[in-house]
């Protein structure tokens, strides 16, 4: 009898045995992260880390402190700190680990369900119980569908990896853009501070001439209002620069004493030449990570479609096997024990839900993913063309200011100063030229600002990330200190 019971109970266990082979490294603590790190380094030139232990966090904290504390940081340094320290990015990396765990889970056979029951407990003539029932239930669809379920999990895993790359590139792009914005804002403050010196001199001179009667109240007011408006404009510029730097600080994940860092006073000078952008559409189609995510989404949907087709009729099929051990008291007082095997098959009868609705949903999901992929490809091509146009266009505009407008303004300033020194023109005519020259210099600085944003956006169009990406070199020139001690 004992052998019979063992055989009956072991039967369903054999049906559900044999785990699917796991892909290499899927059970490692950093499963899947090496691909993320390699792709992001290729696009940004900077390393990324997945922090899972306190020791790793402490090491990164030391590295960040050495890079930023009381240092004037470059755009590349800002990007590196963000990739090491941004906690939202760590959440994205954890999603990769969760997807790897899903593959592990789907590769493992489903645990059988064991049930044990006692009947007639406490009957004095039978001892502790009258009958013992035991059963083991195993889902028969677990093993036949496991391969496809693992394939679905693997497709989702690859998609999670590429999404982590997208998130990394997006952070790198946003950080580089924030650095450019912050430096440009401080460059504006520097220009306004220089103009304020001339405005202060003008206001003071106007006040002195007014006291002597050489300048009426209207003339005094015109000179003093320029000084007052410039002071307000400078205060606004300082506020904008502080806010821009704080945005950079937030993206880098800095707080406490670690916010004690500086950015340069000015953006780098405009480069004379432009980087090659030949076949930029082809580069974008080959390298854009968001396009790869869309392709993987289509693949995952196709895998899920196959699984839906495999379980269209039967969605839940279980075999329940066990044995019943029963005691009976004979007329002569002896107790007889018998073991009865039991086998049950449990499944849904597709009377109402034949699976057609689920199949239709699977087909439409696939069509939806395919159309989304096509739309993404069109958008990628367009973004690449726009990025190239902006890159070349902003360079031409900034070059016009650098090579034509500002040199002419310098000639005007020099001649006005000579005329003023020779008493040919009045001091106030000189200050009018100073005002107009300030406007030209501010416009030139903004043109240079827009060029560096476009240069960063060119990398974003090729690799992904949006709004300004981060290669190790943006526009072929490293974005480093443009001058001054920084802010």
Whole-number Cα distances in Å, 293 to 90, 166, 321, 377: 19, 8, 45, 11
Which has the closest alpha carbon to 131: 267, 325, 274? 325
What are the two backbone dihedrals, phi and then psi, of residue 441, each rounded to the nearest 5 degrees? -65, -40
Query: Tens digits of per-residue pLDDT, 420-454?
Result: 544 444 555 656 666 777 888 899 999 999 999 99
Whole-number Cα distances in Å, 369 to 255, 365, 373, 487: 41, 6, 6, 48
Beta strand extents in 45-159 (DSSP E only): 113-119, 131-139
| Range 110-121 average pLDDT | 67
- Gyration radius (Cα) of the chain, Å: 37
Cβ 179 vs Cβ 430: under 8 Å: no
Question: Residue 422's pLDDT is what?
Answer: 43
Cβ 454 vs Cβ 394: under 8 Å: yes
Cβ 156 vs Cβ 99: under 8 Å: yes
Query: Tens digits of per-residue pLDDT, 11-47?
Result: 444 545 555 667 777 888 888 898 899 988 988 889 9
Cβ 5 vs Cβ 323: under 8 Å: yes
| Range 214-230 average pLDDT | 65
Distance CA 372, CA 360 (A): 18
Looking at residue 21, what DSSP letter applies?
A: P
Query: Tens digits of per-residue pLDDT, 380-424?
Result: 888 889 999 999 999 999 999 999 998 988 887 766 655 554 444
Question: Residue 366's pLDDT is what?
Answer: 75
Two structure tokens written together for 311: 């379980």
Question: Residue 64's pLDDT is what?
Answer: 94
Average pLDDT, the chain: 75
Distance CA 288, CA 47 (A): 19
Two structure tokens written together for 146: 């496991």
């Amino acid at each position: 009898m004992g052998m019979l019971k063992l055989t009956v109970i072991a039967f369903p266990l054999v049906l559900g045995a044999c785990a699917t082979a796991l892909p290499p490294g899927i059970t490692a603590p950093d499963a899947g992260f090496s691909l993320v790190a390699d792709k992001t380094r290729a696009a940004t030139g900077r390393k990324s880390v997945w922090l899972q232990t306190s020791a790793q966090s402490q090491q990164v904290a030391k590295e960040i402190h050495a890079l930023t504390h009381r240092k004037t940081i470059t755009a590349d340094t800002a990007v590196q700190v963000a990739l090491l320290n941004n906690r939202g990015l760590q959440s994205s990396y954890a999603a990769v680990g969760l997807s790897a765990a899903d593959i592990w889970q789907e590769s493992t056979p489903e645990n059988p369900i064991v049930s044990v029951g006692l009947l007639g407990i406490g009957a004095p003539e039978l001892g502790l119980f009258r009958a013992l029932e035991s059963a083991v239930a195993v889902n028969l669809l677990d093993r036949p569908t496991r391969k496809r379920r693992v394939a679905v999990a693997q497709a989702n895993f690859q998609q999670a990896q590429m999404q982590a790359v997208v998130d990394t590139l997006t952070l790198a792009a946003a950080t580089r853009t924030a650095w450019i914005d912050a430096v440009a804002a401080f460059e504006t403050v520097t220009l306004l501070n220089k103009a304020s010196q001339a405005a202060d001199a003008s206001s003071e001179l106007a006040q002195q001439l007014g006291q002597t009667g050489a300048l009426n109240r209207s003339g005094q007011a015109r000179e003093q209002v320029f000084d007052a408006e410039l002071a307000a404009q400078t205060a606004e510029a300082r506020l904008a620069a502080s806010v821009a730097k704080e945005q950079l600080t937030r993206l880098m994940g800095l707080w406490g004493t670690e916010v004690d860092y500086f950015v340069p006073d000015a953006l780098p000078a405009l480069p004379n030449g432009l980087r090659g952008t030949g076949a930029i559409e082809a580069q974008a189609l080959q390298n854009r990570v968001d396009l790869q995510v869309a392709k993987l989404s289509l693949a995952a949907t196709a895998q899920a479609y196959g699984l839906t087709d495999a379980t269209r009729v039967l969605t839940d099929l279980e075999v329940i096997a066990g044995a019943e051990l029963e005691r009976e008291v004979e007329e002569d007082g002896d107790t007889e024990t018998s073991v009865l095997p039991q086998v049950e098959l449990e499944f849904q009868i597709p009377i109402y839900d034949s699976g057609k609705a689920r199949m239709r949903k699977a087909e439409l999901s696939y069509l939806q993913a395919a159309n989304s992929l096509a739309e993404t490809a069109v958008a990628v091509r367009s973004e690449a063309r726009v990025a190239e146009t902006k890159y070349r266009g902003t360079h031409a505009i900034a070059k016009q200011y650098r090579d034509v407008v500002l040199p002419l303004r310098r000639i005007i300033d020099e001649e006005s100063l000579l005329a003023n020194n020779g008493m040919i023109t009045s001091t106030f005519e000189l200050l009018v030229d100073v005002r107009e020259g300030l406007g030209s210099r501010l416009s030139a600085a903004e043109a240079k600002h827009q060029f560096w944003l476009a240069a960063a956006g060119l990398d974003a169009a090729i690799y992904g990330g949006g709004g300004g990406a981060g290669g190790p070199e943006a526009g072929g020139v490293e974005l480093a200190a443009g001058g001054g001690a920084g802010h």
